[in-house]
Chain A
Amino acid sequence: MNKTADVIVIGGGIIGCAVSYFLAKRGVRVICLEGSDNIGNGGSSRNGGGVRQSGRDPRELPLVMYGIKNYWPTLSDELDIDCEYHQEGNLRLGKTEAHKKILTGLTDRARAVGLDVRMIDGDEVRAINPYLSDEVTCASWCPTDGHANPLTTTLGFYKTARRLGAHFISGERVVALKKIRGTLRQVLCASGDVFEADTVVLAAGFASRKIAETVGIDLPMQEITLEALVTEAEPPMFNQMLGTAEADFYGHQTKHGSFVFGGTSGLEGFTTDDGTPMTDSRSAPCFCRGIIKYFPNLAKAKIVRTWAGWMDLTADKVPILGTVPEVPGLVLACGFCGHGFGIAPGAASQIAQLITEGKTDVDLSDLRYDRFTAKA
């Protein structure tokens, strides 16, 4: 097995697979190491599929806008797989004055960065999506948002990167990075395997924290469980991506006809697991109660599956991207905070450009690793 490359990518999620793809496309020799048995086994395959700009922090907004403009519309062709991308807008729903205030704040901040998003009232909401209940009194509406299939998109990046010559190894868990003469050079694995490259991209979600620690870099992140569910196939109803002001549920109807909804139960961060992300029996019923209030028509839709995944939540809830001057050769691409799916093509293309050209089209300086400081 070849263990030397130009770039080693740690993490075979959508970020790692997409970075591998964009690097391989630029003629770079890549080895991508996935710690679990399955490619795309973390949040990449467990998220709600949003390809969304609205509701995001202005610091990461330019990156996702870049990806939606340059990659998402043609991604299915590029990856030779059906990504099921729909760009038919995002409704972020509100029911109360407090919700309206949250949504108006998000909308104003996004407009300041140049995003086409506006507040609409309950009647306008129901003109766009007639299935929503009268409880909905306002929403933010972003017509260029949408959704896609996280499973096929992640595996599409993997499949295409592999065709372009990227070398993937699963079940290869990285335990440490090692500098040689002041420069990052080696990647050490639990199996005893040692890989070598000039550049190492750390895209291992929450696991990135322990790995970065081995070269003295702390990435302040927490691992928080989030859960989701899916219904049986229903007749086509709507194509928008949905969220709510309080983020109590989000989701969309898939091409298959099923509805994928994620949500929060209020117990996130306090549920138990055994080293694998576990569903809590209280969560899915709670999401169902929330969904039925917004969509009375779905009361009889049957839930066929529930699942859980981990978010790599950073201290300020935006990702960590870019180089690390103290560790020459290290490039970070982690801490996507549970909304790394939609931003992945934009973020990964910029990481690939950074490695090969030393510059990026989108300014990444707000996402630097050393931005975390204590209160003054």
Chain B
Amino acid sequence: MNQVNDRNRDIGPFVPQPDDDQIICRCEEVTKGEIRRAVHDGMWTITEVRRCLRTGMGLCQGQTCAKLVKRIVAAELHIPQSELEPATSRAPMRPIEMRVFANEDGEVKTDE
């Protein structure tokens, strides 16, 4: 996207909400309040929130929470969701055992 993003723009104060304890990223157990707090600490992109809190870095790689995180961050920044780039999808598509990955040219060993 590469748009000038002035991190001093006033997004207002952090206001506690009744559902701040709700878990948003189930794999890494990150709550709505933690995500909102991170935005007020300057984490203004999905990638920054992810690197700061591990949202979407667990076993499902964000397949469950990505949309929820985006909605929360956009609301906190008062911007449309379309202005937030999703986090980068990373290979492999599914978790792979090292011994299988290591043997990528050969047969999968099923000795145990």
The interface of chain A, by Cβ under 8 A from chain B, is: 1-2, 36-41, 45, 81, 151-152, 154-155, 158-159, 162, 167-173, 191, 193, 231-232, 256, 279, 281, 284-285, 288-289, 291-292, 298-307
Contacts and interface: CB of A to CB of B under 8 A. Distances in A.
B18 interface: no
Given A169-B8, A292-B102, A307-B88, 5 more contacts: A37-B47, A151-B52, A299-B99, A301-B98, A303-B92
A167 B51 CA distance: 21
A155 B43 contact: yes
B102 A300 contact: no
A155 B98 contact: no
B110 interface: no
Name the 5 nearest CB pairs between A and B, nearest first. Answer: A288-B102, A302-B95, A151-B51, A168-B7, A299-B99
A256 B2 contact: no
19 contacts: A37-B85, A40-B48, A151-B51, A151-B52, A155-B43, A169-B4, A169-B6, A170-B5, A171-B1, A171-B2, A171-B4, A232-B59, A301-B97, A302-B97, A303-B92, A303-B101, A304-B59, A305-B57, A305-B90
B91 interface: yes
Interface of B: 1-8, 41-45, 47-48, 51-52, 54, 57, 59, 61, 85, 88, 90-92, 95-99, 101-104
A38 B98 contact: no
Nearest to B3: A171
A245 to B, nearest CB: 21
A288 to B, nearest CB: 4
Contacts of B47: 37-38, 41
A36 to B, nearest CB: 7
Contacts of B95: 232, 302-304
A37 B92 contact: no
Nearest to B91: A306
Nearest to A32: B7
A36 B96 contact: no
Contacts of A81: 52
B7 A162 contact: yes
Nearest to A152: B52
Given A301-B98, A303-B92, A256 B54 contact: yes
Contacts of B61: 304-305
A203 B102 CA distance: 37
